[in-house]
Structures are given as C-alpha cells and as structure tokens.
Structure 1
Amino acid sequence: MSGKKITVCAPITLPDAETGVAQPPRAIGQARVSSKLRDTRSALRDLYQTGSLRMVFPHGRGDVEAVMVNTSGGITGGDRFEVEATAGAGSQLTITTQAAERAYRALPGQIGQLATHLTVEEGAFLRWLPQETLIFEGSALKRRLVADLHANARFLMVEPLVFGRTAMGETVHAAHLWDRIDLRRDGVPLYVDGLDLGPDIQAQLDRPAVANGGCAMASLVYVAPEAEGHLNPIRDMLPDTAGASLLAENTLVLRIVAADGFQLRKSLVPILDRLTEHTLPRSWRL
C-alpha cells in the first residue's frame, strides 16, 4: 500500500426546481430504431440512442434484432425512458431486452416512467419481446405502450410481469404499477388493456378474480393471417391458469397467470418458440 488517502465522492445531488430540496440523480434514456427492406433482407435503417438506454445488435441473426440495455440497472422514481421502433415496409424487426427489467423502490411522490411507441408498416413484421419486468417492494412505475399497425402488418407482443422473487421470500405490498397497452390497426383500436395495481399489490393478486395468489403474469398478442391456426395448438400447451382466444380476425390474444417467474417462463417460452418459428432471441435462453 502506498499510504495515499483515497477520497470516495458521494453521488451528486441537485436541488428540485420547486422545492429547493436536493434530489438524487435520475436516469433518462431514449432510443429510436427502424428497419428497412434491402434487396430481399431486412437491414437497419436508423438508430438513435442517448442517456441510459442503449441498443446492441447480435451477429448472425437473419433479420434485424435489437437488444435494449438499461445502463442504469433498473427504473426508480423520477427515471424516464422512451422507446420508438419502426418496422419499415416489408421488413422484419425484433426488439428484446438484455435481461429482466427491474422497478426499484421510489421516493414518496416519485414515479418511474417508460413510454413505448411501435409502428409496423405495410407488409412488415415487428416482434416486441422484452423479458420480464420485476416489480419490487416500494416501487412506482407507469408504463404506456402504443402500437400502430398497417392493415396487412404482422405483429407479436409479449409483456411479462413478476411481482417479487418468491424463491427469496419476497412479497410486494407497498408498490404501484400503472400499465397501458393500446394497439391500433389502420387507426382503429384493436386491443386496449389497462392494469392498475397498488398500494397493496399482494392483496390484489390474492383475489380469485385477479391472480388467485399468483405472483407472475403475461399478456401476449399475435396479429397475423395464420393466427387462427395457432389457437388450438397453443390452448393445448397452456396451464389451467391461462387462456387464449381470437379477439378479432387474425388476432390471437393470450394471458397467463403463474405462481412465480419460473413457472411463467416454463409456460411462455414454448409458445414464443412456436410463434417465432424457433427464432426467440438468445437473451431469453441465458
């Protein structure tokens, strides 16, 4: 040891503009990505990224696959993230995440926000396949996903949620989650879903009509001409705590409730394998 004194600097805090009270730093991130058809293959058209949100592109994938990385490590009160993705005419684009997203404890009165806007142009196929969002005790998260689909576009979306890690004995009581999904085809509403949970999420999940004690759930929407052909095979794959139906022409909707994240994946991954023709992003296997 040299005997030199090492000074560790504390995180910089800035005063709030209204209250004058010092606030810890907040994560802000934005990413925009789009694909195009070049000759007979999909290729990256545009990419913009700033702040705590990055996208990486694995090698060896046939179409454009973007893996989102939240460099701040999670979302807490006051954080703001925005994602925009466009599958250009005739192209294919897959969006996933490096790992499960985490909603951490927030200070009173503060909310983390995530806004996503997806566009699927004529003859294109966009797969929105984020891994689980983990909701922890004390968190406050507001999410909004809007997708605009062309009349003959194809679209696959999954949104898995896990409330605490049951293997570690975690339960989620004092937390809030506001979640909105709005899918439109040629401007006409196709699928609208809303979820408001809190302040005692576990008490709500325990209700028979909500999750009957389950601590994990997922919503899936598949829009494609062959959607109806998948309905019965997928129903045969589902546990008793899940259901699938045709919401509209060429639109398959699925919801799963599970005891924990492991059981959710056990049901969900084979279905995603089927609907992606076994091209599920590698990050789902890690």
Structure 2
Amino acid sequence: MERAIPYDTASLVTSRQGAAPQRARGHAKLVVRRRDAQSVISDLAMSGSAKLLFPRRSTSSLDAVMLNTAGGITGGDRFSYAATVEEGASVTLTTQAAERIYRASPGAPGYVRNHLEVAERATLHWLPQETILFDASALDRELSVTLAPGGRLLACECLIFGRKAMGEDVRQVYLRDRMDLRQNGKLVFSDRLRLDGDAQAQLDLAAVAGGARAMASVLIARPGASALIETLRQMLPECAGASAITEDLVFLRIVAPDGFMLRETLVPVLQELADGPIPKTWMI
C-alpha cells in the first residue's frame, strides 16, 4: 500500500532510536502583474507546508503573507519561495509570524531558498519577520534577487539568537546565510554570514557583535538610493551602520541586544524606506 503522505527518503536523518523522521517540504511561487492601476496575481502555486495569504489592502500594491504550516524548520526540512514582479507592478511579501529554527538532529540542516525577480519600473518589498535560532539549530538559507534597470527593491532579513526574555542561550549552531543581487546578468551585491559552534561566545566578541543577540540586514536598490544615506544614519544607533555601495544601492546592518530593541530601530527605518506603513503583521 502506498503511503498517504509521500516523502523523500534520500534526505531523511535517522534518529537515535533508528526511526527515520518525516521532513517538512514547502514551495510557493507568485507572479504579480499590473492591471490598470492595480497589482494583481498573475500566477500562483503552492505545495507542502508553504502557503501564501493575501490580505485586503486599500492601495494599488499587493500584499502577500508567507506561512509555514509546519510550525518551524528543523534539520532536513526544505522550503523555497519564488516571486516575480512584472513591469509596473508592486508587491510586499512578509510572514505571518517569526520563523523558528529548531534543534536539528546530526545530519542535514534546514534549507531555505528564496528567489525574487523584479522587472523594470516594478517594486518589491521583501519584509519577512525575524528568524529565531534556538540552541543546536542548523540553517542553510539563500536569498537571490534579479533586478532589472529601473526596478526597486527593499529587502530585510533579521536573525535572533535565542530569546533574551525567555533566558535562552544559543551555545551550538550551524548557520549559512547568503544574500545576492544581480543586475544585467552581473553580481552587484553579495553578503555572506557563517556561524558555527558556540554562537553566544562568538557574538560576544567586540569585532563580531559586541554582545548583541539580534541583527538585521537591509538592502535598498532603486534609482538614487544613495540620497537616503544621511537620513538613514541619523535614524541609526551607534551599533548600526549604513553604506552607499553605488549611487543606486545602499546596505544597512543593525545589531541590538534583543529582538525588541532591534524592532525599535528597524520599524521606523523600514517605514522610511517603504514610503509608508509596513505590513500589519509586523505590528502584532
């Protein structure tokens, strides 16, 4: 008899008891186009534990909320989201809540692959809420963006290394986090983060995070983005920085003692860069 829910046995990790646990899978694809003055869904596909929700919005832009029905990510899980914004359209992608990366058995990490394509005169705001890493978690994540000339991108990724209010320490972690931006077939921006072993000890180093347990990476790509640099620097605390990489490309890194203090800085910055309110899920 066939299994009711098939799974990929090649990527399973065997537990101490010898049983092969079932791993979560999820993929979602969204294509957005412009119809008159509105941005609407042109194509949509979802499978496994990856879902997209579309709350109503009074503006011409489209909101999409990503949801992981598995409740988190652990070793061997695989998730991917793909979004294409066609010429003149606008979309904001966020998450329903913070993503949680749980303890992983020895073996494969949890894999997350996100790919975004932004056409000419299109706008994409990639604003998922925080990713919380728990002790002994393992994550391999990649965000790849292809941006056409004249396209506009605001991308933010946040990492929380244990919840300070809950007294959580991250003494063992495996993390690979990548962000790439390509224009005209060329790689114009690349950011790499690698963290192995005792995360707390490494984050305590002055040259790494100075004791911070939360961080955000923000990328702004749009014509004339460098004109924002002085405004942004005035909004940032001493534990953050902003760099104008090119005239049209700005990158921010923010660190904070915990997720709450990170949001105190990050939310006003995102509102400034988004030219308006950010998704309501951020305010819950």
- Name the TM tier (shorter chain): over 0.9
Pairing of 1:40-189 with structure 2 (within 5 A)? 40-62=37-59, 63-189=61-187
Against the structure 1 CA distance between its residues 39 and 79, is the aligned structure 2 distance closer, same or farther, given a 3 Å change threshold?
same
The 1-side partners of 2:106 and 2:20 are apart by 12
Greater C-alpha Rg: 1
Equivalent residues, number: 275
Letter in 2 for 1:101: E
Residue 279 (structure 1) shift: 2.5
Residue 189 (structure 1) shift: 1.4
Alignment check: 8 A CA contact 1:136 1:163 kept:
yes
1:30-58 per-position Cα deviation (integer Å, ceiling 9, x unaligned): 00001101112211111100100100000
1:160-198 per-position Cα deviation (integer Å, ceiling 9, x unaligned): 110000111111011111111111111111210111101
Partner of 1:30: 27
Residue 110 (structure 1) shift: 2.6
Letter in 2 for 1:39: D
Alignment check: 8 A CA contact 2:164 2:258 kept:
yes
The 2-side partners of 1:19 and 1:180 are apart by 24
1:129-171 per-position Cα deviation (integer Å, ceiling 9, x unaligned): 0000000001000001110000111100000110000111111
Residue 15 (structure 1) shift: 10
Residue 95 (structure 1) shift: 0.6
1:257-286 per-position Cα deviation (integer Å, ceiling 9, x unaligned): 111101100000000011112220000001
The 2-side partners of 1:253 and 1:144 are apart by 17
**CA RMSD, 1 decimal:** 1.8
The 2-side partners of 1:245 and 1:82 are apart by 29
Against the structure 1 CA distance between its residues 60 and 14, is the aligned structure 2 distance closer, same or farther, given a 3 Å change threshold?
closer
Against the structure 1 CA distance between its residues 134 and 76, is the aligned structure 2 distance closer, same or farther, given a 3 Å change threshold?
same
Structure 2 regions of 5+ residues with no counterpart? Answer: none
Range with bigger deviation, 271-280 or 134-143: 271-280
2:197 aligned with 1:205? no
Residue 269 of structure 2 aligns to a residue whose secondary structure is: helix
Alignment check: 8 A CA contact 2:13 2:106 kept:
no
Structure 1 moving runs of 4+ over 4 Å: 12-21
Against the structure 1 CA distance between its residues 81 and 15, is the aligned structure 2 distance closer, same or farther, given a 3 Å change threshold?
closer
